[in-house]
Structure 1
């Protein structure tokens, strides 16, 4: 029997697009369902030409996927518009009509109905993501369809333990730890999704490790790190001396989950030797400590993706001291630009970085280790070029296409084992 996979992702992103492309190239794709899918020349793509909706252009797919792609754009366009207009009640966590939670739940329900209403002679599996898989997996089980689950970030029980510890370590930054706001209903759904999965896909060893906190038996776990963007063709490295500070960059949500408080503490301690630029939006306007630090450093709330890559290209080092992560795509993005990265053992760093060779690894939650690492670089600035070139070579050897192929091969292997 021909084996085909339906894939569902409400908002899509680089890793999802790679899986869709990989399944298509392996002749495994049955259909792809999402909220917004932009194809050159269509109405949605033209809407993305207007500045308030430029985010749509980041959801562009290859024209060869158009006949297999099904979109339901209303809620997601409403979310984007609400963000731009500051209509916060409409995008309120879990309860807002245009909230990301409602978008995920709505597509999940749509998939459940489709799986229950049709005969699927070729359809043997559904590939869905955290918070958008529960009802579709229930329907899939009734119809004897395999459930492939993608967990993009570490398990929630582990997250709560770690973030509660951070709340004690950095009490003035606790309002940025929004991951502690999920309702019991949402957390229960996450556990139900995991329980229904026949195979679980994660992008880092850290994410896999967090699943040890799940109170029950789980399906086999596949660790497949994400791919890298196309590496920069050239990279020049400017010497650091008495007249030039080390240019360090942080990119990500301005939350202590990402280690932003540690970032500022170290930058302030080394103020005479480093220049910090921060790119990312505030998760809250109510953190006085964050507002104070942003006024002291170079802060860019938002940039188009290509401009972020250019900024990475122009900096000496990217620091990403995340406390709790699933992967951390800013790591691979910076490495693709030949910019070496300092990151923690709670990211994909240990899966793709060899310490002091193509990047640097530190312990999550240690400002001192971050500071020591930067000081070591300041004493041996020639290492920046050496490590940066090795980082770019790492990116060259692992494209997004490789990631998509590996996911497809894992799915084929699962089918062959049953």
Structure 2
């Protein structure tokens, strides 16, 4: 259905995007690509530069795409990237869909500010220019696509009309993720896949794991660690935790399959796709509602849904799984059936097509 795909990523980064005709992909990497490499260049430590660079990238890319639009159609743009292009499309008689993958930007900014303070850090905050632009996009767009009830509720809480919101949950790569084995007996392995950060609520997960009484427990942590978490961990001894850093996506199914439970305790995001990956591999989930988990699992069936910042609730879930070995096997089977029923990315595409067909 797509006429063109505009991206700020350099073309070599798109080599794994199978199934998309290369002639449809138009890259504008001149700002985004250097921004992605700023750490290698030693420039990521300058917060002011990061903000200016990020803002310049979004604005320049948006205006570039706007200049390329000449015919009526439907523009789908990631939030903070589509205001100018969206207006241009609407001026030609077309429609503009703003796609937002996380909670409402004001909600996001507020809860992260609150969380950083809880741990004694200063939250720099989202660039006010980005916040202003996104709010204009929410107002300008014909529809806002969001991935979960959690995100929808954050928008409604901030005054956006429900009639403008269209929930289209993300899918999982069912062709890539499948169960290939069982966890080791006499060991309790907890798995974390995602950013190791305050936003993801990592410290609540770690504290619950450390309080869990098991003679052979293991916490495998996959993902990049932020400076705040490094600072906190530098003041304490951590045992039975294996920090793997980044792991190739193709290797994740082994970790999912051989872990007793997958843990994700985020304070905010949209719909963490790693949850669907874990389910496809038969790994039960412990997650907060703020991960979008309620759109994937029912509490007590494919896993557990726990309140944010609730270490006790996480610990209780660990205990239930340990005390009842059959529960894990039961949840594993239900999780596989559920994620297959949800349909993966094909269902996402079908639902998005239904929205676009309204404009036909």
Q: With the length of structure 2 as denominator, give the TM-score of the two structures.
A: 0.89
Aligned-partner Cα distance in 1 for 2:106–2:348: 28
Q: How does 1:79-158 map to 2 (within 5 A)?
A: 79-88=35-44, 92-96=49-53, 99=54, 101-115=55-69, 118=70, 120=71, 123-158=72-107
Aligned-partner Cα distance in 1 for 2:234–2:221: 13
Q: 1:294 to 1:351 in 2, by over 3 A?
A: farther
Aligned to 2:225: 282
Tell me if structure 1 keeps the 8 A contact 2:297–2:303. yes
Match status 1:193 vs 2:141: no
Aligned to 1:315: 259
Aligned to 1:253: 195
SS for the counterpart of 1:277 is strand
Tell me if structure 1 keeps the 8 A contact 2:285–2:303. yes
| Higher deviation after alignment, 229-238 or 391-400 | 229-238
Aligned-partner Cα distance in 2 for 1:249–1:234: 15
| Higher deviation after alignment, 395-404 or 287-296 | 287-296
Aligned-partner Cα distance in 2 for 1:302–1:340: 22
Aligned-partner Cα distance in 2 for 1:340–1:395: 12
Q: Describe the superposition over 1:354-390 as per-residue Cα deviations: whole angstroms up to 9, x where unpaired.
A: 1221121111221111111111111112211111122
Q: 1:259 to 1:334 in 2, by over 3 A?
A: same
Q: Which runs of no fewer than 5 residues in structure 2 stay unpaired?
A: none
| Higher deviation after alignment, 211-220 or 267-276 | 211-220
Report the CA distance between 1:294 and its aligned residue.
8.0
Aligned-partner Cα distance in 1 for 2:182–2:135: 47
Report the CA distance between 1:219 and its aligned residue.
5.4
Q: With the length of structure 1 as denominator, give the TM-score of the two structures.
A: 0.78
Aligned-partner Cα distance in 2 for 1:346–1:309: 24
SS for the counterpart of 2:52 is coil
SS for the counterpart of 1:250 is strand
Aligned to 1:15: none
Q: Which runs of no fewer than 5 residues in structure 1 stay unpaired?
A: 1-23, 39-43, 45-55
Tell me if structure 1 keeps the 8 A contact 2:184–2:258. no
Report the CA distance between 1:105 and its aligned residue.
2.5
Report the CA distance between 1:307 and its aligned residue.
2.0
Report the CA distance between 1:137 and its aligned residue.
1.7
Report the CA distance between 1:227 and its aligned residue.
0.7
Match status 1:412 vs 2:357: yes
Tell me if structure 2 keeps the 8 A contact 1:344–1:361. yes
